[in-house]
Chain A
Amino acid sequence: MSKSTYINLINVIPKEISESVEFWIKRSSKHFEKVEVPCGGRMQFKTNPKDGVWHVYAVVGGIKTETYSTIFSDDSYVCRIRYWSNEIFNRKLTKSDISMLISERSVTSTIDRLSDIVKAKDFLIFREVSQVLLSQYSQQQENAILPLMEVVKILSQGIFDEFDVQDELRDSIVSNVLDNYENLSLTEKTFFMLQLTPQPTPKSKSAYSKWTKTISKSCESWLDVLGEVDTDIDPEFNLNVLPEINFNQTDEKANRANKEAVKVYNQQFLLRQLQKRLINNSSRYFSLIPQVIRTREQFENEALAIDDQCLQLIKKSKISVIPEDNFAGRDLKRFGAGERINLSLPQKIGLEKEQANQLRWVCRDGSGYFLNNCGGEAIYVAGSKQELAILSLVNIKNPKSHEVLIEQEIDTAVPNDARMERQDGSHIMHQYDTFSAGFKGEIYLLPNVSYSELLFREGSAPGVGTGWFSDDTGDQHPVGDPITIHNNKVNGVDTVSTGIKHAPYAEGTFDWPIPWEYKEGGSPWEPFTIANHAEVSDGTGRASIEKKGAGPFTKDLDAPTSGY
């Protein structure tokens, strides 16, 4: 069993050092054992001291370091030397430091060491190592000692407790890599992008709003890589047709042709897979674009602390939550799926512009997103499903605490019912001496909020007739066209009529239970209520018709003819 411990030697090792370092290990109160360790190497202790405590220090160029106490309990230990730190001398890492780290040219060992750093959550060190290590790939390919993907895999595992730190880490890695990836193959580049730009989490979304540089860099690179993949894809190539293989093993020419055909097939197959993954990931990534409103530099330059008094005022203030579609009679406590809602702080708080710029809305829970999110003002675009979104106003100048100043709930609704009303100014249709009635109806979705981002349609349903209408059983109502919605009113007029029927009359009923459906964007149609088109004949020629709360409207046989 081995156990690792770190000894910080940076405060004694001069920049130029390239030779071995002496370590003195305190065996007892009087006895020190000298160990020479080559730079980048390891100290190995083979004896277990009785008291379990070893004291270690180093001497470099005749100067003794501080003493480090380390507790050991096993027979054999490996002490890994940590060369990189700027704690005392503010010394920057050099390429030679990293070369030392990877001097063994052993992938496993180096990956182990990187993993240790990641686990130690030492962001400063991790960042420096990442940057220097990744910059290797901007050089000639032969200088890159480790397989790139191994490094990226490890680096992308660096999870730090603060999401701000996490995003800065991603910022530094992405910027560094993307600046210098001309030596990578297309496949490497693609995997790189997929690995380094995972789906943004709600937390990283808010932090990303500061890092315009990363966003734009990454977006450019997505486009570049996608463009290259597109160029390499042969649109004429049919993946359904497998390469023809000639199994004559003695025919050299045929064998070469086989290999070439399989190679081309595999390449086209891989490219299409990559393209699919790229498009998937990049679409998530690009959804961040609307949130990016300021550059990081602008943000930092303009930052001016918000004093406690102002913070208290903000905390106590009531947020103005006003939907863009603020039509009369609407429900102001709920909002429709995809609806745009203006959030703003009261003017009286009197924040300076620079101070206000530090306030951002973040979506703690919910599937919506923000537009123009700055200074405590934002447009929240509600999610596409029924949910209770929780939005928080935070001070991003104080990322460590990310203190929530105000929390605002947004109750997002999808249509769950509807009502039909006879169109204003319209009449009941009837033709004299016939069984006939009809009206023009308008549809209002419920709850009473705006569904302007949704589409509406009537679904398919078979009719059910009784008595005089028995023959109409099974009459199919076809699926209607998609119709837009304004506020909660469907942008279409329904013509609801019995048709015109002649004597002999008899009693009967006809029901058409038509499903009403909505959809948001590319999602499937969702039925949300049934609108029953209902007709009744009492046997005297009197026609009665109703649909979804409009009516019943009745016309006697001898009523005068009228249009809609």
Chain B
Amino acid sequence: MKQVEFILSEFENGSYGVLEAINKLFDLPMGKTVILEQCKLYLDKQIDPNFDVKELPSLNIEPPIETGLRSGVSVDSIKNPQQKAEYQKLILKNKKQSNYYLKQIQLRKLLTYLNKSQLNL
């Protein structure tokens, strides 16, 4: 299960395309049925039914107003430690949302692929 989870988590973050992920899964030294079963368990667990496709992540974040700096600027451009920490927090929050969004979209892509390619789950 750990090997399947590892491949799927790499796929989730965009390291592999769908076909690459499928190939890597079937490279594992276990039967196809076992692999698909483990995929199913993983997808059931990880696909969030409450995922809202409209909650888009941001490409660039605005730093705290007091800094006067433009959106998307590097954290290192902020000298004030408090403002820097606040900006880092905002960036981290957006990163989390980006990763979550990416993961949910990728997993849905995999599910669609498995169904369309008749490797039905």
Contact = CB atoms under 8 A, between A and B. Distances in A.
Partners in one complex: yes
A438 B71 contact: yes
Contacts of B117: 289-290, 371-372
A495 B58 contact: yes
Interface string B52-70: 0000111111110101111
Contact of B58 (A282, A384, A477, A492): A492
B71 A484 contact: no
Nearest to A423: B56
Contact of A483 (B17, B59, B77, B118): B59
Interface in B21-71: 22-24, 26-32, 56-63, 65, 67-71
A338 B57 CA distance: 23
Contacts of B75: 478
> Which of B13, B22, B75, B117 is most buried by chain A, counting CB atoms within 10 A of its CB?
B117
Given A493-B59, A522-B17, A477 B72 contact: yes
A287 B19 contact: yes
A414 interface: no
Nearest to A457: B59
A498 B70 contact: yes
Given A491-B101, A533-B72, A219 B17 contact: no
A501 B57 contact: no
Nearest to B35: A223
B85 interface: no
Given A219-B26, A282-B27, A521-B16, A499 B67 contact: yes
Nearest to A284: B23
> Which of A222, A286, A384, A484 is most buried by chain B, counting CB atoms within 10 A of its CB?
A484
B61 A283 contact: no
Interface in B61-115: 61-63, 65, 67-77, 94-95, 98-99, 101-102, 105-106, 109
> Which of B74, B95, B109 is most buried by chain A, counting CB atoms within 10 A of its CB?
B74
A286 B116 contact: no
B59 A484 contact: no
Given A230-B29, A283-B23, A286-B27, A475 B98 contact: no
B65 A480 contact: no
Contacts of B116: 340, 371-372, 379
A440 B67 CA distance: 20
A354 to B, nearest CB: 20
A438 B119 contact: no
B71 A496 contact: yes
Nearest to B99: A481
Given A372-B117, A500-B65, A494 B105 contact: no
B19 A219 contact: no
B57 A226 contact: no
A495 B61 contact: yes
A482 B14 contact: yes
A61 interface: no
Contacts of B105: 484, 491
A499 B71 contact: yes
A458 interface: yes
> Which of B24, B29, B63, B99 is most buried by chain A, counting CB atoms within 10 A of its CB?
B29
B120 to A, nearest CB: 12
> Which of A284, A476, A478 is most buried by chain B, counting CB atoms within 10 A of its CB?
A478
A492 B57 contact: yes
B60 A458 contact: yes
Contacts of A498: 70
Nearest to B95: A481
B16 to A, nearest CB: 5
A535 B95 CA distance: 26
> Which of A224, A287, A293 is most buried by chain B, counting CB atoms within 10 A of its CB?
A287
A453 interface: yes
Contacts of B58: 492-495
Contacts of B109: 452-453
Interface string A518-545: 0111100000000001010000000000
A498 B72 CA distance: 10
Interface in A153-192: none
Interface in A411-449: 431, 438, 443
A438 B68 CA distance: 12
Contacts of B61: 495
Contacts of A478: 72, 74-75
B57 A521 contact: no
A477 B59 CA distance: 11
A496 B70 CA distance: 8
B2 to A, nearest CB: 13
Contacts of A494: 58-60
17 contacts: A226-B28, A226-B29, A284-B23, A289-B119, A293-B118, A379-B116, A452-B109, A476-B74, A478-B74, A482-B13, A483-B57, A484-B106, A493-B57, A495-B62, A495-B71, A521-B18, A521-B20
Interface of A: 219, 222-224, 226-227, 230, 279, 282-284, 286-287, 289-290, 293, 338, 340, 369, 371-372, 379, 381, 384, 431, 438, 443, 452-453, 455, 458, 475-478, 480-484, 490-502, 510, 512, 519-522, 533, 535
